[in-house]
Structure 1
Amino acid sequence: MSAPKRPITRTGVSTADAVRVRGRDMINDLVGRLSYTEMLYFLTCGVVPTPPQVKILDACLVTLMEHGLTPSAVISRLMADSVPEEPQVAIAAGLLAIGSVYAGTTESCAALLLKIEKRQSAGEVDVHRAVAQDYAKARRPVPGFGHGTHKPDDPRTARLFDIARENGCFGPYAESLVLLGEEVDLALGRHLTINATGAIGALLLEIDVPVDAMRAFSVVSRAGGLVGHLLEEKEQHSARVIWAGAKRDIAYTEDT
């Protein structure tokens, strides 16, 4: 019986006088040469992104960074008020709210677009219509569609698509998403916007970001946004107002 293979890493290693990252000298090849966005792409995809890819990824990261007093921001503010000396606790707590409801649907939409592509490659016709009708019949939300605030259309989506077109990155996945949107409207009998996370899912596919990395990119982006909430919380103490509002507006009852 052969011995198990020894685990390896291609990500990075540190020695006494150097740091190697994916085959590159970090000190001389990466620091001061790659931006944060370029480094994020390089670590994830293994290659340095092209300028258009950087533009798209930058736009996606900025779009997801700040949405106001969302659950993740509220959670971070509550934690910052409770544990003010530990900013990493507040940020980590807020990031736990990124999931299938808030900001985490990017990869779900991307996975759906890949399934559509696979079905088309197998020779199936009218795939977008079939998918839209299946979701409508099951009364399930379509990943990447709908928004509680932005109606009738999500303005972030239009801007992201404009940037993609300007940089030659509005390709088959973005086109597939638009076509799916048309079929979703027909199946539901009403307009449902393509939201920003849906647009980001399509555009990240266009620039070759793995689906498994997409939610992590949402986390990376939102972490930056939460820093602003933490600093403001030190001045405003909005967590106390949120807490007081909950005590005031959520009635206690012993009825079953």
Structure 2
Amino acid sequence: MSIERSDVSDWWRTEIIDMAPGIIRFRGHPIEDLIGSVSFPQMIWLMVRGDLPNAEEAALFECALVAAVDHGPQAPSIAASRMAVTCGLPLNSAMASAVNMLGDVHGGAGEQAVELYHMIDEAGGPSYAGEMIDRWQTERTPYVPGFGHRFHKPVDPRAPRLLSLVDEAQKKGVVSGRFAAIGRAIQTELNARKGKPVPMNIDGATAVIYAELGFAPPLARGLFCLSRSVGILAHAWEQMNQGGRNKGPTPPKYRWTYDGPDPI
């Protein structure tokens, strides 16, 4: 039996926005009441979660967003934005090209880390970190998301600062602190297994905050995209002002390795 739609208003359904001539409401809040009253992090929270965070929740949320804005031109997404501009793309296209590089390997570890934290939490807490790491590596990937860094050893400077802010929020009763404990338990376990420090990285640290604040794992990746878009925009704009045409990932004098057949 087919379902007939009598009106185009049935085509899309949303609880996010109500809009008519002279009226714009986000989650029931008139836009004129939100402008000047809520911060951008609060607005993000309202749009994706449906309610407004209190000031302490918003402040902790903002810290996570600030911490992940950029990591330099060696980051594939940032490099992509700069290369896109040298190919003549406008800022919006450069940003889109860069954000599209934020996949499971580059940009997706935060989502995976939240998933792992929840696995450990549901298993019984920090004492199950080792067991759940083994399960993760067996069922998902050998890489433990949110830990280890190519450049920052033995410490990623962003992680201790973010965890200290979580600790402060816990003391105020803003968050439970249980995901911070899980993150630290993972690091202790990995340090023992490797016999050397395995730093919690930006993905692992922001995942602690997102898990503490109740964001679903997939949102951790979306929020990383929002955060990193700031750096992407800044680098694209800088490159646009510096000039340069058709820049690839390396200067022209450096050649790639050719492994194909020799000329016949």
Q: 1:67 Cα deviation (Å)?
A: 0.7
Q: 1:246 Cα deviation (Å)?
A: 5.3
Distance, in Å, in 1 between the alignment partners of 2:182 and 2:250 is 47
Q: Which residue of the partner structure matches residue 21 of structure 2?
A: 16
| Residues 64, 218 of structure 1: 8 Å contact kept | yes
Distance, in Å, in 2 between the alignment partners of 1:230 and 1:128 is 40
| Residues 60, 165 of structure 2: 8 Å contact kept | yes
| Residues 83, 247 of structure 2: 8 Å contact kept | no
Deviations 1:10-62 (A, max 9, x none): 000221111011111112x2111111111001111111111121111111111
TM-score by length of 2: 0.85
CA RMSD of aligned residues (A): 2.6
User: Residues 137 and 19 (structure 1 numbering): CA distance in 2 closer, same or farther, change over 3 Å?
Assistant: closer
Q: Which residue of the partner structure matches residue 83 of structure 1?
A: 88
Q: Which residue of the partner structure matches residue 31 of structure 2?
A: 26
Deviations 1:112-152 (A, max 9, x none): 1111111228xxx9421212345678981111110001001
| Residue among 239, 245, 248 paired with 2:251 | 245
Q: Which residue of the partner structure matches residue 220 of structure 1?
A: 226
Report the identity percentage.
Answer: 24
Q: Which residue of the partner structure matches residue 73 of structure 1?
A: 78
Deviations 1:205-230 (A, max 9, x none): 11122222111111111111111111
- The range that moved more, 133-142 or 14-23, is 133-142
| Residues 127, 185 of structure 2: 8 Å contact kept | no
| Residues 16, 26 of structure 2: 8 Å contact kept | yes
User: Residues 185 and 137 (structure 1 numbering): CA distance in 2 closer, same or farther, change over 3 Å?
Assistant: farther
| Residues 83, 90 of structure 1: 8 Å contact kept | no
| Residues 77, 238 of structure 1: 8 Å contact kept | no
Q: Which residue of the partner structure matches residue 119 of structure 1?
A: 123
Q: Which residue of the partner structure matches residue 160 of structure 1?
A: 162
- Higher relative helix content: 1
1:199 paired with 2:205, answer yes
Distance, in Å, in 2 between the alignment partners of 1:180 and 1:253 is 41
Which AA in structure 1 matches 2:129?
A: H
Deviations 1:149-183 (A, max 9, x none): 10011110001111222233461011111012111
Structure 1 unaligned blocks of 5 or more: none
| Residues 99, 225 of structure 2: 8 Å contact kept | yes
- The range that moved more, 192-201 or 180-189, is 180-189
Which AA in structure 2 matches 1:224?
A: V
Structure 2 unaligned blocks of 5 or more: none
SS at 1:19 equivalent: strand
Tell me the number of residue pairs that the alignment of Structure 1 and Structure 2 aligns.
Answer: 251
Q: 1:104 Cα deviation (Å)?
A: 1.9
User: Residues 136 and 104 (structure 1 numbering): CA distance in 2 closer, same or farther, change over 3 Å?
Assistant: closer
1:95 paired with 2:99, answer yes
